[in-house]
Amino acid sequence: MYAVNPVLITMKVAIIKYNAGNVCSVLYALERLGVQATVSDNHDELRNADKVIFPGVGQASSAMTCLKEQGLDKLIISLKQPVLGICLGQQLMCRFSEEGNVDCLGIFPQYVKKFSSPSYKIPQIGWNNIFSLKSPLFNGISEHSYVYFVHGYYCECGANTIATADYIHMYSAAMQKENFFATQFHPEKSGDTGHKILENFLTLNS
């Protein structure tokens, strides 16, 4: 049983609602932290939240189509509070994805590329370690901690990389630019390490 951080109980946390959200497991993880999050595509609710989470499991080009239809593409890049993209959410925050050859939100300048290898299983499914940790998102997290990944595409490394993983080659396991944070792995499925990362995100600037 996790201890509930009293700072989080009254916090307004919004999860972006669109056709690629992996919402239920994120909601359960937040509940373990004492947070009752709202799942919404309402622009005002998202703007007025203390923290916003942008989860995703699905296909990049269809997800971008949905975001544009709802006007969420422009809304997301305009947000000023801390925003956390998860898995596909991180990839959609990049410049371009090879998954459907689609322009994405462009928050990060990196490209999203498809894994290719004759000797590795693709997608990568399971636990892998992260290293070169560089952000308050990883306060209290040890180098080479293990977290849970499910992905067949990856974000290139670059100036915004705040954690690195190695599968076939090195790639961005997490990224940050200003108020935008993102993880390729699923913190909501990553046990104690993921719990701490989510808590770190929720307590940023609080």
Q: Tell me which residues are annotated as active site.
A: 87, 186, 188
For residues 113 and 136, give the distance between their C-alpha atoms in angstroms, rounded to a whole number.
27
- What is the enclosing helix (H) or strand (E) of 102? strand 102-103
Which residue type, as a one-letter code, is found at position 99? E
Angle at 19 between CA 155 and CA 174, to 5 degrees: 25
**Do residues 144 and 132 make contact, with C-beta atoms less than 8 angstroms apart?**
no
Report the length, in residues, of the chain: 206
Query: Closest Cα partner for 168 from 99, 112, 109, 122?
Result: 122
DSSP state of 156: P
For residues 172 and 162, give the distance between their C-alpha atoms in angstroms, rounded to a whole number.
7
Torsion, CA 128, CA 132, CA 135, CA 139, rounded to 10: 70
